[in-house]
Amino acid sequence: MDALGILWGPGLVFVGLAVWVVRKAWKASRIERDLEEERLTRALGFDSASLRAQAPAEAVGARAAPKLESVPAKAEGSRARFRGSLAAADVSSCAPEHLEAIGALLDGRAQSTAARPEVLWARSVGAHAVWCERRPPAPSSPPGPAREVLCIAQVRDGKVLRSWSHGE
């Protein structure tokens, strides 16, 4: 019993130090998370003031209404040509010539397959067009859920040089 009394002092000191270290590590991880978030918003060009204004609404649980950006008239015309696949797609950040290239690829693929995929969104990144397709299962395969496939095409002068996809 006497030995147990002797261990109380160092034991409490150890527990206190452990709690202190855990608190410091927790605080450091929060600071690192905030710094990474700030660095990412700066790199992507987002307005940090508007993001901070949205944060309290999202924290409460209220879902913020999506911002709708105007699509240039030329892009609207391109979108109308490929109404079947791009009608519901978010193409606000996609160049019109990239929309034309995506539509041409989808048209070429539609001739070889029975079901045309639904495009969820499309973006332009330099000389590349990136979009996400929801592809229904192939008629020859067993029935199952639709797959979401990320597609990328390198476009120059309105022509697709290379294209590839991930998630097939």
Domain residue spans in the chain?
2-60, 73-166
Q: What number of other Cβ atoms are within 10 A of residue 117's Cβ? A: 22
For residue 23 the two structure tokens come to: 């608190």
Q: Could you say which DSSP state residue 125 is in?
A: E
Q: CATH topology for 73-166?
A: Nuclear Transport Factor 2; Chain: A, (3.10.450)
Instruction: Report CA-CA distances (Å) from 5 to 8, 11, 17, 35.
Output: 5, 10, 20, 46
For residue 154, give the 3-state DSSP assignment: strand
Query: Is residue 109 over pLDDT 80?
Result: no
Q: pTM above 0.75?
A: no
What confidence tens digit (pLDDT) does each residue in 115-162 have?
A: 678 888 999 988 899 999 888 877 677 777 888 889 999 998 888 889
Q: Is 78 exposed, middle or buried (0-12, 13-18, 19+ CB in 10 A)?
A: buried
